[in-house]
Amino acid sequence: MADAVLYRGERMKLLQLSWCLGTLSYIVFGVFRRSGTPLEISLGLQGLLTLLLFMLPVVGVVLGVMSLNRKEVKAWWVIGVIVLNIAMVGTGIYLLSPD
């Protein structure tokens, strides 16, 4: 598992970046789903924020595909991260759709 350790001056792999974006979007979308309107912000601002957060897993999918093409790690790791990001894209679409 020495692949996951980052040493000083070493760059993060695309898979790790993709996983971080997927996890971050999972946490933020979970907050939006549970609280309805967090911090009592207007619906327009909440929609704009959700749209911007929707871009995180989309970028994560692209980075995951690039990581798969570069063969940075085993394919099943990359496929798992891509599936996580696609699920977050679906969650973003669900949150953007009107009730």
Among 40-49, 64-73, 82-91, the range scoring the smallest mean pLDDT is 40-49
Q: Which residue has the tokens 């695309």?
A: 14
- Judge residue 59's burial from the number of C-beta atoms within 10 Å of its C-beta, 0-12 exposed, 13-18 middle, 19 or more buried: middle
Cα distances (angstroms) measured from residue 48 to each of 25, 29, 60, 96:
15, 13, 19, 9
What predicted TM-score, i.e. pTM, was given to this entire model? Answer: 0.71
Q: How confident is the model at residue 10 (pLDDT cuts 50, 70, 90)?
A: low
DSSP 3-state of 32: helix
DSSP 3-state of 36: coil
- 4-11 CB contacts, 8 Å cutoff, 24+ apart: none
- Mean pLDDT for 91-97 is 74
* Number of residues assigned to the chain: 99
Per residue in 22-67, pLDDT (tens digit) is 888 888 777 776 666 555 666 677 777 777 778 888 888 898 898 8
Q: How confident is the model at residue 13 (pLDDT cuts 50, 70, 90)?
A: confident
Q: Is 51 left (phi over 0), alpha (psi -120 to 50) or beta?
A: alpha
